[in-house]
Structure 1
């Protein structure tokens, strides 16, 4: 699976959206490694939460051109950038400006991708009360793309709580997490919600130990 082109992105883009990095490429590698499984479930609707540059959902769209591929991001610039990345690669992706999956109908998503803000920070630093649709705050503040609050888990835990209402009966989630996010506790929280979460891929990079969790229903 070839990495989508992203040579159209500019320094101005990277001031407003997360630049593709090792975590991005780890998620791409996970998709490539699990393509046979993904083909077996014949996904009709694929969604990436927090698409940023759009690289990951564009790669998935290239592999499944007949699927409806959507992306969500609270940052309008990221939505626009995702669309440009899809067009650059002759892929079809429809970005939606929303928080997580607030505007997605229940239990329809067959493949869900999420590289969340996972860095451990204080809640004061994250300041979740300002996570809204004020473009001045969300489009010009990259903290929303990486700061995860206490244990780096604020957004991850919110997704776990909502997952049952998101995934289709045979749906799968690929979630990127950091060792410091307390991996065993995340897996236990998924189990409490009737999901099996397994470590599908991992990678050590300077300063971080990254994991991809593959999550399906019991």
Structure 2
């Protein structure tokens, strides 16, 4: 699976959206490593939450051109950037400006991708008001990385909604940090009738990253 081109992105873009980094490429590598399984799924709908630059959902769209590929982001600039990335790579992605999976029909998603805001922060940082009406994103960029206590605020919210998001054959690839307590996340998923395993991991300077593969029990 080829990494999408993103040479069209500018310094101005990276001031407003999360720049592709080691965690981005780890998630891409995990998807590529699991293509044999994903080919058996033959997804009808793929969704990336918090698409940022758009390279991950664009890569999936290129691999599964018959699937409907959607992305969500609260950041309007990220939605625009994701669309430009898909067009640059001759892919088909429809960005939706919303929070997590709001406005997405229940139990629709066959492949769900999420590189969440996982950095451990104070609740004060997380409690800033999201400025949905602004065309600039200075007030919203923090939500691309700030995760609250244990970096789990958004992750736990997704887990509690997951049953209404995934289709009966749906699979989630979730990127987490060691500080997010991956084993606790796996246990929380189990209580919600999901099975999860550490599919891939990578140590980089200052971070130990994991990809969890999550499916229904």
For the superposition of Structure 1 and Structure 2, which TM-score range results when normalised by the shorter chain? over 0.9
* Residues 1:27 and 1:185: Cα distance change in structure 2 (over 3 Å): same
Q: What's the CA shift for 1:133?
A: 1.4
Q: Contact conserved, 1:44 with 1:67, CA < 8 A, in 2?
A: yes
Distance 2:4 2:200 in 1: 21
Q: Secondary structure at the match of 1:135?
A: coil
Q: For 1:144-159, what aligned pairs fall within 5 Å after superposition? A: 144-159=143-158
Q: Secondary structure at the match of 2:4?
A: coil
Distance 1:140 1:194 in 2: 36
2:28 aligns to what? 28
Per-residue CA deviations over 1:103-154 (Å, capped at 9, x if unaligned) read 10000100000000000000102225x1351326745542110000000000
Q: Contact conserved, 1:77 with 1:139, CA < 8 A, in 2?
A: no
Q: TM-score, normalised by structure 2?
A: 0.97
- Confirm or deny that 1:106 pairs with 2:106: yes
Unaligned runs of 5+ in 1: none
Distance 2:191 2:137 in 1: 33
Distance 2:140 2:127 in 1: 12
* Residues 1:18 and 1:213: Cα distance change in structure 2 (over 3 Å): same
2:215 aligns to what? 216
- Confirm or deny that 1:82 pairs with 2:77: no
Count of aligned pairs between the two proteins:
217
1:37 aligns to what? 37
Q: For 1:1-218, what aligned pairs fall within 5 Å after superposition? A: 1-128=1-128, 130-135=129-134, 138=137, 141-218=140-217
Q: Contact conserved, 2:201 with 2:209, CA < 8 A, in 1?
A: yes
Distance 1:179 1:137 in 2: 32
Q: CA RMSD in A?
A: 1.1
Unaligned runs of 5+ in 2: none
